[in-house]
Structure 1
Amino acid sequence: MNRIVPKVVLLLLASVLSCTASAQRFAREGILAGAADPTIVAVENKQGQTEYYVVATGRGVRLYKSTDLKKWKYLGRVFENNVPEWARRAVPGSNGIWAPDLSYHNGLYYMYYSVSTFGSQRSVIGLAVNKAIDPESPDYKWEDRGLVIESSPETTNFNAIDPALLVDEQGRWLLYWGSFWTGLKVVEVDPATGKPKPDAEIQPIAARPNHPAHAIEAAYVIFHDGYYYLFVSWDSCCDGADSTYRVLVGRSREATGPFVDADGKPMLEGGGTLVIESSERWRGPGHNCVLTTDEGQWMVHHTYDMQNLRAQRILQIRPMTWTEQGWPKVGEPVATP
Structure 2
Amino acid sequence: MSRSTRTGPGTGPRHRLRRRAALPALPAALLLALAPPSSASAAYPDPGRVTGDVVVHDPSMVRTEDGRYVLYSTHGGLEARVSTDRTHFTRAGSAFTDLPDWWSDYSAERDPWAPDISYHKGVYWMYYAVSSFGSNHSAIGLAKSPTGLPGSWSDRGIVYRTGTGDDHNAIDPSLFVDRDGTWWLSFGSYWTGIKMVRLDPATGSLHRDRTVHSLATRPDEPYAVEAPQIVKRGNYYYLFVSHDRCCAGTDSTYKIKVGRSTSPTGPYTDRDGVPMPDGGGTTVLATHGRFIGPGGQSVLKDSDGHVLVHHYYDGADDGTPKLGINLLSWGGGWPTAR
> What interval of TM-score do these two structures reach, taking the shorter chain for normalisation?
0.7 to 0.9
Counterpart residue type for residue 150 of structure 1: R
SS in 1 for 2:88: coil
Structure 2 Cα separation of the partners of residues 91 and 275 of structure 1:
33
SS in 1 for 2:118: strand
Compared CA separation, residues 44 and 129, structure 1 to 2 (3 A): closer
Q: Which residue of 2 aligns with 1:230?
A: 239
Q: Which residue of 1 aligns with 2:102?
A: 86
User: Structure 1 length normalisation: TM-score?
Assistant: 0.83
SS in 2 for 1:86: helix
Structure 1 Cα separation of the partners of residues 239 and 50 of structure 2:
31
SS in 2 for 1:313: strand
Is the Cα–Cα contact under 8 Å of residues 31 and 315 in structure 1 kept in the other structure? no
Is the Cα–Cα contact under 8 Å of residues 80 and 91 in structure 2 kept in the other structure? yes
Q: Which residue of 2 aligns with 1:37?
A: 58
Structure 2 Cα separation of the partners of residues 31 and 305 of structure 1:
15
1:152 equivalent among 133, 150, 163: 163
Deviation of 1:77 after TM superposition, in Å, equals 0.8
Q: Which residue of 1 aligns with 2:42?
A: none
User: Structure 2 length normalisation: TM-score?
Assistant: 0.83
Q: Which residue of 1 aligns with 2:326?
A: 318
Structure 1 Cα separation of the partners of residues 65 and 123 of structure 2:
15
Deviation of 1:87 after TM superposition, in Å, equals 1.7
Compared CA separation, residues 254 and 75, structure 1 to 2 (3 A): same
Compared CA separation, residues 300 and 31, structure 1 to 2 (3 A): farther
Q: How many positions carry a matched residue from both structures?
A: 292
SS in 2 for 1:79: coil
Is the Cα–Cα contact under 8 Å of residues 130 and 143 in structure 1 kept in the other structure? yes
Deviation of 1:42 after TM superposition, in Å, equals 1.2
Q: Which residue of 2 aligns with 1:23?
A: none
Larger radius of gyration: 1
Of Structure 1 and Structure 2, the greater helix share is in 1
Structure 1 Cα separation of the partners of residues 50 and 174 of structure 2:
29
Higher relative contact order (CA 8 A, sep 6+): 2
Counterpart residue type for residue 336 of structure 2: K
What are structure 1's unaligned runs of at least 5 residues?
A: 1-17, 20-27, 332-337
SS in 1 for 2:333: coil
Compared CA separation, residues 306 and 124, structure 1 to 2 (3 A): same
2:335 equivalent among 304, 318, 328: 328
1:107 aligns with 2:118: no
1:250 aligns with 2:266: no
The alignment yields a C-alpha RMSD, in angstroms, of 1.7
1:168-183 equivalences under 5 Å are: 168-183=178-193
Deviation of 1:320 after TM superposition, in Å, equals 1.1
SS in 1 for 2:103: helix
What are structure 2's unaligned runs of at least 5 residues?
A: 1-19, 22-48
Compared CA separation, residues 93 and 274, structure 1 to 2 (3 A): same
Deviation of 1:133 after TM superposition, in Å, equals 1.7
Counterpart residue type for residue 295 of structure 2: G
Is the Cα–Cα contact under 8 Å of residues 217 and 233 in structure 1 kept in the other structure? yes
Cα deviation, 1:237-265, whole Å, max 9, x if unaligned, reads 10000000000000011111111100111
